[in-house]
Amino acid sequence: MPGRWLNSLRRYDAFQKVDGAYQARTSSGGVLSILALLAVVVMLASETREYLRYKHTHSFTIDAEVQQKVQINLGLTVAMPCGFLRVDVLDASGTSENIHSSITTRSVSQRSTLTGVGERLRSVNQAADMHVHDIFALASKKRRGKNAGTVDVKGVDEACRIEGSVLVSKVAGLLHVTAHGHGHGGAYVPRHMLNFTHHIDELSFGPLYPSLVNPLDDTLHFANHSTAAFRYFISVVPTLYIDSAGYRLPTNQYAVNEYYKARLDPMDSDGKPPGVFFEYSFESVAITIREHRTSLVVFLVRVCAAVSGFFVTIGLVHRLVASVTEAVAGNKGVGASAAVGILDSKHPLRADIDAPITSTTVRK
């Protein structure tokens, strides 16, 4: 009994096949089959790449979290000794944040710092040959760091590395780096010793976002005068990132406008004192970025639908080509037979020869 079931199962074929005696193989059919196979391979590769690619959807909501603190991450190198500089944070409410325990300063060599920047830019330039977006990013960095020139530090080959993170209230504020005696108290630093040429390694708000592009990261800015003031007007947008597994990461993105001015007149009281100023404000609109991928079921359905639909289309095209070919060949045959008849002057007996023989019965 089980053997009979197995034999029946072996003979069963859900896909009916046409016997070879009733098949006609043509060169056009072979060409279409090869083209169909190549197209299916390309289609499968495209669908697989689309399945493996992450997609992002953006939605906008009103930011309801007003009372929270925001972390500012700063990495900055200024072409002046650390003893000349001071770092302060002041928000719109007039509160001054204590940053001495969270922001550190250390002396580095100006020459080694600038050499390192050049090496980083050269390495990025080599990698950018294969990626167009890297070329645009490098071009924007060069534009930001392309001021009139540098100013000598009068024999002082020392720079100051400022780095750390500070928690601030989620209101507009100002983070600035100035020299002692210029805008604030302290020992007065001679004007000819000022040089606010600086390199921003990092400036971000909140936890780091894996693919977030911070506009000021890894940018070099030159001061062409000792009284140069760099002002960055930063608009921070709260951002919630949700990955494909459902994990949530609150962070911030920002846009920035830059303003550079050198106060050439020492008696000009309207200008900013020399320094680097980051003026930030928080938008009331929050962005939610969701990351997702195509599910395996959807991927399989799309592949089956695409492949089957393509083969159906190829079959229709093949039948259309065959029908047109047969129609053209049939018209030629009809034209040839119509030219031969009883009125054929060249072969008057052909009609009698080609005519079918019929028998008649005579009744007596």
The proportion of the chain whose per-residue pLDDT surpasses 70, expressed as a percent, equals 63
* Alpha carbon separation from 78 to 108, 114, 152 (Å, rounded): 10, 11, 13
Neighbours of 161 (CB within 10 A): 17
Give the pLDDT band of residue 39 (cuts 50, 70, 90).
confident
Phi, psi of 39 (to 5 degrees): -65, -35
**Which of the two residues, 109 and 20, has the higher pLDDT score?**
109
**Which of the two residues, 346 and 119, has the higher pLDDT score?**
346
134 sits in which H/E element? helix 132-144
The proportion of the chain whose per-residue pLDDT surpasses 90, expressed as a percent, equals 6
Q: Which stretch, 66-70, 212-216, 275-279, 289-293, has highest mean pLDDT?
A: 275-279
Give the pLDDT band of residue 24 (cuts 50, 70, 90).
low
Q: Are strands 275-282 and 173-179 parallel, antiparallel or unpaired?
A: antiparallel
pTM, entire model: 0.58
Q: By C-alpha distance, which of 165, 163, 162 is closest to 70?
A: 165
Tokens of 299: 């991927």
Phi, psi of 106 (to 5 degrees): -150, 150
Q: By C-alpha distance, which of 305, 253, 311 is closest to 58?
A: 253
329-349 residue pLDDT tens: 776 555 444 444 444 455 454
* Alpha carbon separation from 221 to 114, 135, 188 (Å, rounded): 11, 19, 24
**Which of the two residues, 127 and 203, has the higher pLDDT score?**
203
Phi, psi of 299 (to 5 degrees): -60, -45
pLDDT at 145: 39
Q: Is the pLDDT of residue 166 over 50?
A: yes
Q: Is the pLDDT of residue 142 over 70?
A: no
Give the pLDDT band of residue 280 (cuts 50, 70, 90).
very high
